[in-house]
Chains A and B, each alone.
Chain A
């Protein structure tokens, strides 16, 4: 019963999905911080998808956002379907934790850690390994420092983003 509900979407929400996908595309182009640890804002788009939409539609939104980004801006190192998959998986995981659920610290921590480990550390490293034949362990070690620092910053940001989103959602 719940699964069926995940597939339903009203026209109004479909339009909202389009807007959030567009925001995701724009946010993913922005990054800030000192040159050593640049933090991209794409994760905010993923969180918004996950917060507003069911896991199914979050994943679709994430996939479309990745395709649109590739189409408009091109992808560094060429297009690879694996990254579209990971772009779908991130919002989906966030959706499992945030969609129609109260905002709790543990949810944020768990969601970010899961996304970091599965998406950023494991899968994205795997794609690089497949694309360039780079040794998996070497690629992993190269990415490790960033993935140790960034999630904690993301958690804080996500907390404030969710607080703000919940305010907007209450009003009609």
Chain B
């Protein structure tokens, strides 16, 4: 199974003075069980596209095939619950959605909503408290007593607890300290390797280079590139004209004169290996 977008367009408030194009004739196919990143300038339609993955927004035109369902402009709001059980979104700053009395109740809310029993949901919640790297004794505390980073983890645990097949994350590591950020990103990578699809919206090209199998580049609501990271960053001229940054290692490699790299180094490891090779010559 794969995720297919066929000529999807989305228009905000159609037929009104506020009409605005969000997506413009976007078509692509994503393989499941891969790590996909969604990049592009602010306002390029990343969030609009993301909200299409679980039909928070329905296409104005076109068709989406995802998790065994087909979404068209005529899809009704009924029956979408099943879709949302399989496709989850983690919004930007998800800690804002915490509301329950205790951390464990808050994480268990999602699973309960999707039909798990009280017991199962709480067991899952406890398991995920550990998985996202929180101390176990946090379970019975109020989520509002926690630090910002801890709240973020609780919120993300709440979305991952019912193991959605497809997990869409909008800048999940924004505002976290470097260690916490690495931990969260590794968690998502591990989740993907367990056999799920992870779609990551990000501005951080180093993360794209490090984790992604597949990159979607959006510009002004149009999909301008869909390729693996190597090809996406292969042409720095193209990147610049489409206001796309390059990963730090490849910028560094560009500045090294007299060095020759077999391939454009995207990650720090590639860069180090490449420099070593040059020195040996």
Contacts and interface: CB of A to CB of B under 8 A. Distances in A.
A167 B145 contact: no
Contacts, number: 9
A171 B101 contact: no
A168 B101 CA distance: 9
A171 B99 contact: no
Interface string B79-99: 000000000000000000001
Contacts of B145: 171
Nearest to B143: A171
Contacts of A164: 99
B146 to A, nearest CB: 10
A65 to B, nearest CB: 23
Contacts of B142: 167, 170-171
A164 B106 CA distance: 13
Interface residues of B toward A: which range?
Answer: under 10
B191 interface: no
A167 B102 CA distance: 10
Interface in B130-145: 142, 144-145
A171 B101 CA distance: 11
Contacts of A171: 142, 144-145
Interface in A83-131: none
Nearest to B144: A171
Contacts of B144: 167-168, 171
B56 to A, nearest CB: 18
Interface string B125-164: 0000000000000000010110000000000000000000
Nearest to A170: B142
Nearest to B101: A167
Contacts of B99: 164
Nearest to B146: A171
Nearest to A163: B101
Interface string A133-170: 00000000000000000000000000000001001101
Interface of B: 99, 101, 142, 144-145
9 contacts: A164-B99, A167-B101, A167-B142, A167-B144, A168-B144, A170-B142, A171-B142, A171-B144, A171-B145
4 closest residue pairs by CB, A with B: A171-B144, A171-B145, A171-B142, A167-B101
Given A167-B142, A170-B142, 7 more contacts: A164-B99, A167-B101, A167-B144, A168-B144, A171-B142, A171-B144, A171-B145
